């Protein structure tokens, strides 16, 4: 019995192609439908780890779909339905080749760059005298180009994106507006849960009629970093690490085991006990971010469950005919 799903080989009715990302597999069907399956793969430093994490795909999919519903008044999104805990079905879009990364605090990658002496990140000037996890005077957008074929995402400035024609000036203005608005809403929801939304990334695409919509995931622990609000000020004052909810704990574990995704480095062995601890952390993330108890889906045969739920949806939904 396999209790994780790390790859799929489905053949759905009207299937045209399959795209396999770092953690999601996207099936393109007729009628411009996409079936996105959130697997249990774990990615860090743009490298997929050798073992799947039980329930991770379900957690990411359910967080993303809940936040899509809570932000659809701000920005239209690609989502139509979630017929299975690991599955989202939505409209085919042409993705923009940039990730809109927005940061409210000096943490993670930004902090590592700052410590290395950089004071300009993606064309944005960073204030002097900041320490790790300090709040920025106002949120900053630090875009990245989307990596292909397992390469690292690349920091890029707004000016460079427009100069290289990756996104038009007009479209970028809307992406920027949506990014600030989504981050404000995400921060507001997080605050109600006793959390701080530290940084996150959004991805956008265009539908065939030219509408810009939010795609992929939103406010999940894979795409976002959260701190616990309680004790934040005291920890900053004392120079202590912040208590956080994100997959940064995986990155820190890898760094402490000599791995940062650089050439020649080996992924450290992930024991079953460590894999289970990561799963438990993801469940904790879900319950804190969503404010509800996590209900584990039946994992006795995940592949069969997903296939049957998608087929049932496609056969009964008029959009898929």
Tell me whether residue 258 is in a domain. Answer: no
**pLDDT tier at 306 (50, 70, 90 boundaries)?**
very high
Q: Are residues 224 and 102 part of one domain?
A: yes
**Sign of the alpha-carbon dihedral angle for 41, 44, 48, 49:** negative
Average pLDDT of the segment spanning 219-246? 92
Sheet of strand 79-84: strand arrangement: 15-20, 24-29, 33-38, 87-91, 79-84
Q: Which residues of 226-257 are buried (b: 16+ CB within 10 A; e: fewer)?
A: bbbeeebeebbeeeeebebbbbbebbebbeee
* HEC sequence for 128-187: CCCCCCCEEEEEEECCEECCCCCCCCEECCHHHHHHCCCCCHHHHHHHHHHHHHHHHHHH
Q: Are residues 240 and 99 part of one domain?
A: yes
Instruction: List pLDDT tens digits, range 253-295.
Output: 999 999 988 888 888 989 999 999 999 989 988 999 999 999 9
- How many domains, in total, are found in the chain? 2
Distance CA 53, CA 249 (A): 14
Beta bridge partners of 195: 228
How much is the pLDDT for 1? 35
Sorted by sequence, the CB contacts under 8 Å of residue 233 that are 6+ apart come out as: none
Q: Are residues 201 and 182 part of one domain?
A: yes
Q: Are residues 121 and 235 part of one domain?
A: yes
Q: Are residues 221 and 106 part of one domain?
A: yes
Please check whether residue 75 is in contact with residue 95, taking contact to mean a CB–CB distance below 8 angstroms. Answer: no
Instruction: List pLDDT tens digits, range 125-167.
Output: 999 999 999 999 999 999 999 766 545 678 999 999 999 999 9
Q: Are residues 198 and 301 part of one domain?
A: no
Q: Are residues 100 and 222 part of one domain?
A: yes
What is the residue range of 305's domain?
A: 15-93+271-316
Q: Which residues of 4-13 are buried (b: 16+ CB within 10 A; e: fewer)?
A: bbbebeeebe
Q: What is the mean pLDDT of the chain?
A: 92
Q: Are residues 186 and 71 part of one domain?
A: no
Q: Are residues 218 and 125 part of one domain?
A: yes
């Amino acid at each position: 019995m396999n209790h994780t799903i790390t790859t799929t080989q489905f053949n759905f009715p009207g299937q045209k192609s399959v795209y396999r990302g770092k953690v999601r597999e996207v099936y393109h069907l007729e009628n411009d439908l996409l079936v996105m399956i959130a697997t249990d793969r774990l990615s860090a430093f743009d490298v997929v780890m050798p073992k799947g994490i039980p329930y991770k795909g379900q957690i990411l999919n359910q967080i993303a779909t809940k936040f899509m519903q809570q932000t659809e008044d701000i920005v239209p999104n690609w989502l139509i339905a979630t017929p299975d805990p690991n599955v989202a079905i939505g409209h085919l879009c042409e993705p923009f080749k940039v990730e809109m990364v927005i940061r409210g605090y000096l943490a993670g990658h930004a902090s590592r760059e700052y410590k290395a002496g950089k004071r300009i990140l993606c064309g944005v000037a960073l204030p002097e005298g900041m320490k790790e996890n300090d709040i920025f005077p106002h949120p900053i957008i630090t875009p990245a180009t989307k990596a292909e074929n397992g390469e690292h995402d690349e920091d890029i400035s707004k000016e460079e994106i427009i100069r290289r024609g990756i996104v038009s000036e007009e479209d970028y203005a809307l992406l920027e507006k949506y990014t600030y608005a989504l981050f404000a809403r995400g921060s507001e929801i997080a605050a109600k849960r006793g959390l701080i939304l530290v940084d996150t990334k959004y991805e956008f695409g265009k539908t065939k009629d030219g509408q810009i919509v939010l795609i992929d995931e939103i406010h999940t622990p894979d795409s976002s970093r959260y701190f616990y609000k309680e004790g934040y000020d005291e920890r900053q004052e004392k120079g202590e690490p912040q208590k956080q909810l994100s997959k940064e704990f995986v990155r820190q574990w890898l760094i402490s085991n000599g791995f940062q995704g650089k050439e020649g480095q080996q992924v450290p062995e992930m024991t079953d006990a460590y894999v289970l601890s990561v799963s438990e952390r993801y469940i904790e993330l879900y319950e804190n971010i969503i404010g509800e108890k996590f209900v584990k889906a039946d994992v006795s045969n995940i592949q069969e469950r997903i296939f049957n739920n998608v087929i049932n949806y496609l056969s009964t939904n008029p959009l898929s005919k």
